[in-house]
Structure 1
Amino acid sequence: MASTPIGPSASPGPSTPGGPLAKIDPALLRIRTIRFGQYDIKTWYDAPFPEEYASIPDGRLWICEFCLKYMKSRFGAGRHRMKCKARHPPGDEIYRDGAISIFEVDGRRNKIYCQNLCLLSKMFLDHKSLFYDVEPFLFYVITEVDDFGARFVGYFSKEKRSPKDYNVSCIMTLPVRQRQGWGNLLIDFSYLLSKKEQRLGSPEKPLSSLGALGYKNYWTLAVYRYLESAPEKIRLEGK
């Protein structure tokens, strides 16, 4: 499906309720831009890719939007595109609503995909520390489906067995997909999973700056929606 690529300037920078985060000098980043599907996206932080990726042409990494394999060049990405048969994340599709689809991916069964996903997200999350030890986690990948396949939008991960009932360990939406409601949908889905598991559910603490902003926005909207149809003289007891 042809569309016009969006340049790096369309990738919003990190921000917090109190203002922008301290930006890392792009010259210090080993990878300054990723080519992801039709998008060129400026990276915000460094990620621990193998040493051979320390010096790549123009500081640009090419990533397959379906299997998340990363490559050094346009040529390599073109060859991969001709051979790659993936059209959606591995794992089970557990939710579908029109063009929106969510896949549950097991870190043990799909180790390489989940490791690549963690490396991708590190370039946009300042506090992310999990990269290769993915086996104890489940990853919930949200996609937008078109005639070609299920295109990656974002994800959240959670521990398979969390003693504190955390329902989110890490959450990320691609910068070019932010401010479109995808983050709220991911958060809402995490609470629906907790409800199905008959757990209270809560994101892992402490929240990152962007995470705190996302949850504040989610709960603000949730309270407004409740108040729209709530009875008069609401009491917190029993709610």
Structure 2
Amino acid sequence: MNDQHNYDTNGIDDDGERDGETETETEKDLYGILDKRNIEKVVLGDHEFDTWYGNAVYFLKNEPQELAFKFMNKDVRSRNNLKKFLEFDSSHKYWLSKLYVCDSCFKYTDDELDCLKHRSMCKYKIKLPGRTVYKDDSKKISIRKVKGKRHKLFCQNLCLFAKMFLNNKSVFFSLDHYDFYMMYGDCNETNKISTNDTQKSNYLIPKGFFSRELLSWDNNNLACILIFPPFQRQKLGQLLISFSYELSRFESLISGPEHPLSEFGEIGYLNYWSKYLAREFLEGSLANSTEQDIKLKENDNINDITQVITLEEISIKTGFRIDDILMALEYMGCLAEKKNRNIYKDYELKNQNDIQNNEKLSSLSSDSYDVVLLKGKIQEWASTRDISRSIIKENLLLY
């Protein structure tokens, strides 16, 4: 089977749109929206694993038995039959048992041999897309910036693949205004080209990515993020999240991810925010308490509060949005409301507008203390976790 036909088309023209199709409202409602998994398994390089969500975009509209790229140069509009689609869907648990995906460029097929042949000669196996923006030689990890406008087909196929693991993924083809930050790592595996021949490979493969919208009204630094299933539980997600904030700090932006977060995304971000805040309060830019100050827990005198700090100050020092800071502090269990006059407080979180410039702590009345941050709780939370940095700033190549 011709490799060019199978991999370089995928039903997408040079402008990132599918050829020769006019969508009715009914087709729009069905196409790309599924409430079940329609592909049972994915074979990404030498890794085989289950999908998490359905993806109808790989297939012809209302033709779930056919991958769309095979009919790019054919007029198939007359084949779009809703009744036929419903009959097929009701009688088949999965539209496709296995989808074979190149682990260098994400081009896909339902034919294992075609995929093996393509992988042996894929151009992205030798020349990676984009440019390096982070490189850690000790961990053999790098991050490359890939422009959606310049590498359209690569990014389109990446988004199609990601849809099977991101339930809210909805942008696949119009990617000119997105940058993709690809995480690459070593591949030291045996690739079976045929039953009688094996080829030892040592090349870089993508292990995850995050996308970033170039024109974001909310200054989001991340649109979606995914570590591919075979490479999860290696703290790679924390590294990508950390890198997204380094980009924002490099641009002097207070930023964060696009909301709402997915269930797994929220877990990842809460861990990152909490560890970063704990590190800053205990040993970083927000840590100005001595050992004696920490022992103030034994003192009930409200006038002995060691420091007043605003949410805006925390936001400026960390680069986090205020709402995200509050989510993390609540997650750590270190926030408390004042219930009486004799409550221990290390820090008070107040709106900047309520504090006049150069106003001293002693001039604030006790009634103004509403929410406090308990530093002892931060220490307790951090004592059971590794809060070390996940990114090495010296490895950044942002210039």
- TM-score normalised to the size of structure 1? 0.82
1:236 partner letter? I
Give the one of 46, 50, 54 matched to 1:46. Answer: 54
Deviation of 1:146 after TM superposition, in Å, equals: 5.0
2:226 is equivalent to residue 169 of structure 1: no
Residues 89, 141 of structure 1: 8 Å contact kept: no
More helix by share: 2
Question: What's 1:236 paired with?
Answer: 309
Question: Which letter does structure 2 place at the counterpart of 1:109?
Answer: R
Match of 1:153 in 2: 207
Structure 1 residues 220 and 72, CA gap change in structure 2 (3 angstroms): same
Deviation at 1:57, TM superposition (A): 9.2
Percent same amino acid among aligned pairs? 36
Q: Distance in 2 between matches of 1:217 and 1:107?
A: 29
How far apart are the structure 2 equivalents of 1:92 and 1:177?
A: 22
Alignment of 1:75-154 (within 5 A): 75-87=113-125, 89-98=128-137, 99-145=140-186, 148-154=202-208
Structure 2 residue matching 1:219: 3-state secondary structure:
helix
1:197 correspondence with 2:206: no
Aligned-pair distance for 1:234? 5.5
Residues 221 and 258 in structure 2, CA contact (< 8 A), matched pair in contact too:
yes
Task: Give 1:185's match in structure 2, choosing from 235, 239, 250.
Answer: 239
Which TM-score applies when normalising by structure 2? 0.50
Whether 1:61 aligns to 2:69 is no
Counterpart of 1:11 in structure 2 is: none
Task: Name stretches of at least 5 consecutive residues in structure 1 with no aligned partner.
Answer: 1-23
The answer on whether the counterparts of 1:121 and 1:172 sit within 8 Å (CA) in structure 2 is yes
Structure 1 vs Structure 2 CA RMSD: 2.2
The alpha-carbon distance between structure 1 residues 182 and 50, as it changes in their structure 2 partners (threshold 3 A), is same
How far apart are residue 78 of structure 1 and its match? 1.5
Q: Is 197-206 or 102-111 further displaced after alignment?
A: 197-206
**Which protein has the larger Cα radius of gyration, Structure 1 or Structure 2?**
2
Aligned to 1:32: 40
Which digits, 9 at most, give the CA deviation of each residue in 1:79-135, with x for residues without a partner?
112321322641111211111111111111111110111111110111111111111
Matches of 1:32 and 1:46, distance apart in 2? 9
CA distance in 2, matches of 1:57, 1:203: 34
Q: Distance in 2 between the 1:234 and 1:222 partners?
A: 20
Q: Which structure ranks higher in relative contact order (CA pairs < 8 Å, sequence separation ≥ 6)?
A: 1
Distance 1:225 1:36, change over 3 A: same
Offset, 1:53: 2.7
CA distance in 2, matches of 1:145, 1:178: 15
> 2:42, 2:101 within 8 Å by CA — same for their partners in 1?
yes
Counterpart Cα distance in 2 of 1:145 and 1:161: 33
Shift in alpha-carbon separation, 1:121–1:30, aligned structure 2, 3 A: same
Verify the 8 A CA contact 1:31 1:43 in the aligned structure 2: yes
Distance in 1 (CA, whole Å) between partners of 2:96 and 2:54 is 15
Q: Aligned partners of 2:183 and 2:174: how far apart in 1?
A: 22
- One-letter amino acid of the structure 2 residue matched with residue 75 of structure 1: L
Tell me, yes or no, if the aligned pair for 1:92 and 1:104 is still in contact at 8 Å.
Answer: yes
Question: Does the CA contact (< 8 Å) of 2:42 and 2:49 recur in 1?
Answer: yes
Distance 2:251 2:267 in 1: 26
Conserved 8 A contact 1:94-1:103: yes
CA distance in 1, matches of 2:215, 2:307: 36
Contact 2:39 2:95 in 1 (8 A): no
Change (3 A) 1:234 1:211: farther
Q: Structure 2: 5+ residue runs without aligned partners?
A: 1-33, 61-65, 69-91, 189-201, 290-305, 315-399
CA displacement, residues 147-169 of structure 1 (integer Å, 9 cap, x when unaligned)? 72221111000111212111001
CA distance in 2: counterparts of 1:187 and 1:85, whole angstroms: 29
TM superposition shift of 1:207: 1.2
Q: 2:38 touches 2:95 (CA, 8 Å); kept in 1? A: no
In 1, Cα distance between the equivalents of 2:134 and 2:101?
A: 25
Q: Structure 1 35/198 Cα, relative in aligned 2: closer, same or farther at 3 Å?
A: same
Displacement after TM superposition at 1:30 (Å): 2.6
- In structure 2, distance between residues paired with 1:235 and 1:33: 54
